[in-house]
Amino acid sequence: MKCIEKRGEVEVTGVSDFDLARIFECGQCFRWNADVNGIYTGVVKSRVARVRRMGGSVFISGTMEDFELLWRDYFDLNRDYGEIRRQLCIDDFMREATAYGAGIRILRQDKWEALCSFIISQNNNIPRIKGIVGALCELYGDSFEFEGCEYHAFPTAERLAELETKGLAPIRCGYRADYILGAAREVASGKLDLESLANASPSVARATLKTLHGIGDKVAECAVLFGLGMLNAFPLDIWMKRAIAEHYGQGFDPEIFSPYAGIAQQYIFYYMRSTASRKRSFAQGS
């Protein structure tokens, strides 16, 4: 991989498995949006970046210092996802799923933002999750400017911990409001130390998160994978349960994908959801 700064961007070449749509639209993050040219803009830790792909290069706005301080780690660029895909090709189904999802990378997201976002994700679809997260940021996140436009950081746990339930009424998150505020108070008080939890075992992290009001298996598993960066976590939703039932059956153990069960999960989730959508479109058009 080679990185060169020029004209307000860092050009990254020689990196495999970096497909913008597959990274940002696979259900792992909710603050990146594309324009008509396929250029994504997102907010991460009070920083904004535009990311575009041209030929074999990825262009990330900002300086080389920005890239080294934030974006290299955020995009997990030191990890060889091509090799991981090869390791995960344990059967015909995974060969199809990993080939279809080639280009996905697991983002190294802020721990609190990931936890809060996946609380919001409960029984929700991606467009609505993005809408609620965006409204939450506009209402309570610090504002700043980027290229003449106003953006908002994700609100801190400390800021949200000050609120009552009615304070979240404008974002229309329903019953999730109490769960969000409960988690914020635990983090703000120090009772839940997400930095320390990231150094615990996955089982301890999962069990600790599930002690929070309103957090069950799926939200805890997503927070462990996408927030705490534990790549062997394996969230289960309706798409994953369907995939397991169809291709593995009873007795399935995600350890067959260890130590990258979480990355396998993303390939499977993206493949199942995307191919189901294509099949529906074909059926409606036939």
Class of domain 2-78 as given by CATH? alpha beta
This prediction's pTM: 0.92
* Class of residue 201 by CB neighbours under 10 A (exposed 0-12, middle 13-18, buried 19+): exposed
CA distances to 157, 166, 276 from 162, rounded to whole Å, are 9, 12, 42
CA angle 105, 197, 44 (to 5 degrees): 45
The tokens for 125 are 């679809």
Pick the CATH number of 111-227 from 3.40.640.10, 1.10.10.10, 3.40.50.970, 1.10.340.30: 1.10.340.30
Each domain of the chain, given as residue ranges in start order, spans 2-78, 111-227
* Per-residue pLDDT tens digits for 114-169: 999 999 999 999 999 999 999 999 999 999 999 899 999 999 999 999 999 999 99
Distance CA(9)–CA(249), nearest Å, equals 47
Cα of first residue to Cα of last residue in the chain, in angstroms, is: 45
* Per-residue pLDDT tens digits for 73-121: 999 999 999 999 999 999 999 999 999 999 999 999 999 999 999 999 9
